[in-house]
Structure 1
């Protein structure tokens, strides 16, 4: 277990396209969020689940369920909240990403430097599977206050260690780690790739 990093799983989405709470959707005999937790538990004993309803995730042993600090529906709120709970670099992950490869996480942690370490895949940053330094807190707040509350805009204001698609494929050839689940069909499709 690695004590140099904390992990924050964002579970604040509304699951509109999923038609139900996707974080609690059962496949392989456990809720989706538990798949994410189990993959990441080997990296840190400090795993936090950030959501609007923290009571919902108390069933996950060894996870700390915390409430979003800001009352806005935006993943930046989860990143902002994470900055208040740690003083060391942390991994930020979406709760709807159950196929994360440990090798990819290890690669990110090993190569972390600057304010954030983020993969750029197909021309786009992947901010919901990235390592951040809590020093980004003020820049997040400023971004939200200026109503530029998107990860892509925030990243332009951060000192980022950009990891390439080629680097990602060296540890996750199908890039399955970056697959987030939006529909029940996604679960079936990505499950077949990931196993």
Structure 2
């Protein structure tokens, strides 16, 4: 089973408003993400910051199968990943942000494949920088690693990855699929939005 968890629980401080609900070409941003993922996944879960946001997302994004919520307010992505993975029974799950509308589904499919013999697959540059999102992680080891991180009040995704067996994928391999590396472009400010949508 191939699932996806879209993290939408951030405060969007630099953006100035809720990024997940910001309109791009007549669709809210998170729908652009969900539409792409729906072509390659069996289930899509969104981790929302509260019920008000979750209700809007469920109304406007039919591709999303389930909404869950951050268990600890303002804790960060580790709590969101934990919450999302709790809804997944088995298989591999890609973790992405709601602000990644330019992701390339071929890159995601490659990450799924590269996690076959591992607990997770993550992209890493030649100088050691890790692109934390998107990450593909298997449900069971991911649930255990994020639960342990929350128990230890550890907010760092890197430390979650250090608890499991990870296949680090060279960025140059990803460039062969996504030459401009738009998959890793997240929208932090209005100025980051490209038009037209690609």
Q: Is the 8 A contact 1:47 1:62 kept in 2?
A: yes
Deviations, residues 82-125 of structure 1 (Å, cap 9, x unaligned): 22211221111111100001211121122223111111136322
Question: What TM-score do the two structures reach when normalised by structure 2?
Answer: 0.88
Aligned runs of 1:38-53 on 2, under 5 Å?
38-53=35-50
Question: In the alignment, is residue 16 of structure 1 matched against residue 13 of structure 2?
Answer: yes
Deviations, residues 25-62 of structure 1 (Å, cap 9, x unaligned): 11222111011011111012311111122223112113
* Secondary structure of the corresponding residue to residue 38 of structure 1: helix
Runs of 4+ in 1 over 4 A off after TM superposition: none
Aligned runs of 1:31-180 on 2, under 5 Å?
31-53=28-50, 54-59=54-59, 60-68=61-69, 70-73=71-74, 74-86=76-88, 87-113=90-116, 114-121=118-125, 123-135=128-140, 136-180=142-186
- Tell me which residue corresponds to 1:183: 189
* Secondary structure of the corresponding residue to residue 86 of structure 2: helix
Q: Structure 2: any 5+ residue segments left out of the alignment? A: none
CA RMSD of superposed structures (Å): 1.7
Question: What TM-score do the two structures reach when normalised by structure 1?
Answer: 0.89
Q: Structure 1: any 5+ residue segments left out of the alignment? A: none
In the TM superposition, residue 69 of structure 1 has moved relative to its aligned partner by 5.1
Question: In the alignment, is residue 30 of structure 1 matched against residue 31 of structure 2?
Answer: no
